[in-house]
Amino acid sequence: MRRFPGVLLLGYWNPARFAEAVREAPGPGWGLLAVLIRAAMDSVFIYLPPALLGWQPWPSPTITLLRAETYYWFLVWFTPVYMLFLWVYLAGATHVVLRLTGRRTDMDFILNVGGFVQLVVGAALVAWDWGNFALGMRNPVALGITHWILAQWGTVLVVVAYRKFLDLPMWYTLGLYVFTALISYPMVMLVMRSPFH
C-alpha cells in the first residue's frame, strides 16, 4: 500500500495508478484527511490574508446576516465545516444515484476519490490564485474560467477511477460528474467568495 503523499502525487500525473492507489487506501480515512488538508489550505492561504487585511468580498455576502466587513473571518472558520459537508453530501448523492440505477457502488472508495480529488485540484487552485495575484491579474471572471478549466483534471481523475473500479461507462460517469457539479454549484455560489477580485 502506498503512503498518503504518494497517492496525492499520483493524482497529478497518472490517473490510472492514482485510482489503484486510492482503491488500496484504508477505509475513508485518507479521503477525510485529504479534505481536511484542502480545507486548511483554503482557510489559511485564501481566506486568512484578506481577513487580516480587512478586505470585503465581491459580490457582497448573499446571507445578509453576515457582514461584509467580517465575511472573510467567517470563511476562515466555516470553510472546513463546509468542505466536510460537501464531501459527504456529494459522495452520498453519487452512492444513491448508483444504487437507484442498479450500478455497482462502494461508499468508501467514492469518499476517498472525492477527498483526494478535492486536494489534488484544490492545491493547484491555491497556487494558481496566488500566482495570478502576484502577477497583478485580478479579474474574477477570468479567474473563474481558469478555475473551471483546471478543475477538469478532477473530472479526468473521477472518470478514470469510476470506470476502473466501479465498471461505469464513460458517458455514465461524465453524466454523474456533471450531476454532482450541478447540485454543488448553488451552495458554492451562495457561500464562497474569492478574495482575488
Q: pLDDT tens digit string along 76-126?
A: 999 999 999 999 999 999 999 999 999 999 999 999 999 999 999 999 999
Please compute the mean of the pLDDT values over residues 52-79 and round it to a whole number.
91
- How far is the C-alpha of 89 from the C-alpha of 182, rounded, in Å? 13
Cell numbers given for 16: 490510472
CA proximity to 156, closest of 105, 117, 189, 192: 117
The model's pTM is 0.92
So what's the pLDDT on residue 1? 52
Please compute the mean of the pLDDT values over residues 152-169 and round it to a whole number.
95
Residues 195 and 49: beta-carbon distance below 8 Å: yes
- How far is the C-alpha of 33 from the C-alpha of 95, rounded, in Å? 20
Residues 112 and 95: beta-carbon distance below 8 Å: no
Cell numbers given for 101: 440505477
- How far is the C-alpha of 166 from the C-alpha of 113, rounded, in Å? 12
Number of H helices, E strands in the chain: 8, 0
Between 177 and 1, the higher pLDDT residue = 177
Determine which helix (DSSP H) or strand (DSSP E) holds 29, and give its type and residue range. helix 29-41
Alpha-carbon torsion, ordered 128, 85, 172, 147, to 10 deg: -10
The pLDDT > 70 percentage for the chain reads 98
Residues 65 and 148: beta-carbon distance below 8 Å: no
Residues contacting residue 48 through CB under 8 Å, at least 6 positions apart? 72, 76
The pLDDT > 90 percentage for the chain reads 74
